[in-house]
Amino acid sequence: MRRRALTGIMRGRMSTPVDSTEPIERARAHRVHDVVIVGAGPAGSSLATLLAQRGVDVVVLEKEHFPRFHIGESLLPAGCVLHERLGLEPDPDVFVWKGGAEFRCEATGRRQVFRFDEALPGPPRSAWQVERATFDTALRDCAVRAGAVVRHGEKVRGVAIDGDRARVTTDSGEVHARYLVDATGQDRLLARKARAVVPYKRFGKAAVFTHFDGLSRDALDEIGPGNEIRVLVRPGGWGWAIPLPGARLSVGIVTQAQGVDEGLFDAAFADSPIVRAWTAGAERRETRVVRNFSYKNSAPHGARYAAIGDAACFLDPVFSSGVALAMIAAEQLALRLVPALAAGTEADPALAAGVSAHLERGYATFGSLIDRFYNSRFADTVFLSDSEDSLMRRGVVSLLGGDAWRDDNPFQDMLLRARRRPAPGEAAAS
Ligand SMILES: Cc1cc2nc3c(=O)[nH]c(=O)nc-3n(C[C@H](O)[C@H](O)[C@H](O)COP(=O)(O)OP(=O)(O)OC[C@H]3O[C@@H](n4cnc5c(N)ncnc54)[C@H](O)[C@@H]3O)c2cc1C
Is the CB of residue 183 below 6 angstroms from any atom belonging to ligand 1? Answer: yes
Is the CB of residue 320 below 6 angstroms from any atom belonging to ligand 1? Answer: yes
pLDDT at 100: 98
pLDDT at 268: 87
Q: Are residues 223 and 345 in the same domain?
A: no
Ligand 1 center from residue 186 Cα (angstroms): 6
pLDDT at 429: 45
In a domain? residue 368: no
Nearest Cα to Cα of residue 64 among 36, 35, 39:
39
Give the whole-angstrom CA distance, residue 348 versus residue 336.
Answer: 11
Give the whole-angstrom CA distance, residue 402 versus residue 397.
Answer: 9
| Residue nearest (by alpha carbon) to ligand 1 atom 33 | 39
In a domain? residue 413: no
Q: Are residues 185 and 301 in the same domain?
A: yes
Give the whole-angstrom CA distance, residue 347 versus residue 345.
Answer: 5
Is the CB of residue 42 below 6 angstroms from any atom belonging to ligand 1? Answer: yes
Number of residues that this document lists for the chain:
430
- Quote the domain boundaries for residue 229: 77-127+201-291
Q: Are residues 87 and 184 in the same domain?
A: no
Q: Which ligand 1 atom minimizes the distance to the CA of 64?
A: 47
Is the CB of residue 326 below 6 angstroms from any atom belonging to ligand 1? Answer: yes
pLDDT at 259: 85
Angle between helices 322-343 and 353-375 (to 10 degrees): 170
Is the CB of residue 241 below 6 angstroms from any atom belonging to ligand 1? Answer: no
| Residue nearest (by alpha carbon) to ligand 1 atom 35 | 39
Ligand 1 center from residue 98 Cα (angstroms): 20
- The CATH number given to whatever domain includes residue 258 is 3.30.9.100
DSSP run (H or E) holding 368: helix 353-375
45 neighbors 147 (Cβ within 8 angstroms)? no
Q: Are residues 139 and 57 in the same domain?
A: yes
249 neighbors 79 (Cβ within 8 angstroms)? no
Q: Are residues 227 and 146 in the same domain?
A: no
176 neighbors 165 (Cβ within 8 angstroms)? yes
Ligand 1 center from residue 424 Cα (angstroms): 34
In a domain? residue 396: no
Alpha helices in 129-272 (DSSP H): 132-146, 189-193, 217-223, 263-269
Q: Are residues 344 and 216 in the same domain?
A: no
Q: How many CB atoms within 10 Å of residue 283?
A: 11
Q: Which ligand 1 atom minimizes the distance to the CA of 242?
A: 8
Is the CB of residue 73 below 6 angstroms from any atom belonging to ligand 1? Answer: yes
Q: Are residues 97 and 177 in the same domain?
A: no
pLDDT at 1: 55
Q: Are residues 91 and 214 in the same domain?
A: yes
Q: Which ligand 1 atom minimizes the distance to the CA of 170?
A: 42
Give the whole-angstrom CA distance, residue 322 versus residue 325.
Answer: 5
Is the CB of residue 185 below 6 angstroms from any atom belonging to ligand 1? Answer: yes
Is the CB of residue 205 below 6 angstroms from any atom belonging to ligand 1? Answer: no
Q: Are residues 187 and 206 in the same domain?
A: no
In a domain? residue 307: yes
In a domain? residue 65: yes
In a domain? residue 342: yes
**Confidence (pTM):** 0.93
Is the CB of residue 71 below 6 angstroms from any atom belonging to ligand 1? Answer: yes
Q: Are residues 286 and 315 in the same domain?
A: no
What total of structural domains would you count in the chain? 2
Q: Output the tens digit of pLDDT for each of the chain's 430 residues.
A: 544 332 222 222 333 333 333 344 444 568 999 999 999 999 999 999 999 999 999 999 999 999 999 999 999 999 999 999 999 998 888 899 999 999 999 999 999 999 999 999 988 899 999 999 999 999 999 999 999 999 999 999 999 998 899 999 999 999 999 999 999 999 999 999 999 999 999 999 999 999 999 999 999 999 988 999 999 999 889 999 999 999 999 999 999 998 899 999 998 888 899 999 999 999 999 999 999 999 999 999 999 999 999 999 999 999 999 999 999 999 999 999 999 999 999 999 999 999 999 999 999 999 999 999 999 999 999 999 988 889 999 999 999 999 999 999 999 999 999 765 554 434 444 4
Q: Are residues 244 and 259 in the same domain?
A: yes
In a domain? residue 403: no
Beta strand pairing call for 173-182 and 305-307: parallel
Domain final residue pick, 260, 291, 322? 291
In a domain? residue 392: no
- The CATH number given to whatever domain includes residue 336 is 3.50.50.60
| Residue nearest (by alpha carbon) to ligand 1 atom 27 | 185
| Residue nearest (by alpha carbon) to ligand 1 atom 18 | 322
Domain final residue pick, 291, 313, 345? 291
pLDDT at 93: 82
Q: How many helices (H) and strands (E) does the chain have?
A: 14, 21
How is the chain split among helix, strand and coil, in percent rounded to 5? Answer: 35, 25, 45
Q: Are residues 310 and 193 in the same domain?
A: yes
Beta strand pairing call for 166-170 and 206-213: unpaired
Domain final residue pick, 326, 343, 363? 363
